[in-house]
Amino acid sequence: MNTLDIHQILEYLPHRYPMLLVDRVLDYEVGKRITALKNVTINEPFFSGHYPHHPVMPGVLIIEALAQTAAVLSFLTMGSKADDKSVYYFVGIDAARFKRPVSPGDQLVMEVAITRSARGIWKYAAKATVDGKVAAEAELMCTVKAIAEPAGAA
């Protein structure tokens, strides 16, 4: 079983608090699939406003957590790590469905599989579950792009 702890994840993702949404990689197979975990806590900054009387993790952040999981798989597959010369971007989200709310105390298990990779575009089937029940699923498309140097930079 291939795992990554938070220190190793930080090498593959440029995200930091409060946008880092992957706590642990439970298993992965380079070029194929990855399973990761996000521990959802009441201390997340978005819960104070979404919704104070009934905290729910925003769906867009569940999709972002799935995309970050996909990014780790892509970097592992490419044999590279995140750096300050490139950015991992969304280029598409299709068939996104939200099946149940995600609340503080939940463990969000994210399963992502590469379905296609061509001309620098990666396509994935992604699913997030809590207690074995689907919370969200989507087809994601992402790419790695070099950051352009500002004019006049040496």
For the segment 129-142, the average pLDDT, to the nearest whole number, is: 98
Q: Tell me whether residue 151 is in a domain.
A: no
CATH number of the domain that residue 62 is part of: 3.10.129.10
Q: Tell me whether residue 111 is in a domain.
A: yes
Q: Give me the number of domains the chain comprises.
A: 1
CB 40 within 8 A of CB 103: yes
Mind listing the pLDDT tens digit for each residue in 5-54? 999 999 999 999 999 999 999 999 999 999 999 999 999 999 999 998 99
In this prediction, residue 149 has a pLDDT band, given cuts at 50, 70 and 90, of confident
Q: How confident is the model at residue 86, as a pLDDT?
A: 86
Q: Tell me whether residue 32 is in a domain.
A: yes
Q: Tell me whether residue 154 is in a domain.
A: no
Buried-state track 115-138, b at ≥16 Cβ within 10 A, e below 16? eeeeeeebbbbbbbbbeeeebbbb
130: containing domain: 6-146
Options 7, 50, 53, 54, the catalytic residue = 50
Nearest to 47 by CA among 39, 37, 57: 57
CA distance 19 to 47: 14
Residue predicted with more confidence, 148 or 130: 130
Mind listing the pLDDT tens digit for each residue in 62-111? 999 999 999 999 999 999 998 888 888 999 999 999 999 999 999 999 99
Q: How confident is the model at residue 109, as a pLDDT?
A: 98
CA distance 17 to 44: 10
Active site residue 50: yes
Q: Tell me whether residue 1 is in a domain.
A: no
Q: Tell me whether residue 126 is in a domain.
A: yes
Q: How confident is the model at residue 5, as a pLDDT?
A: 98
CA distance 39 to 75: 22
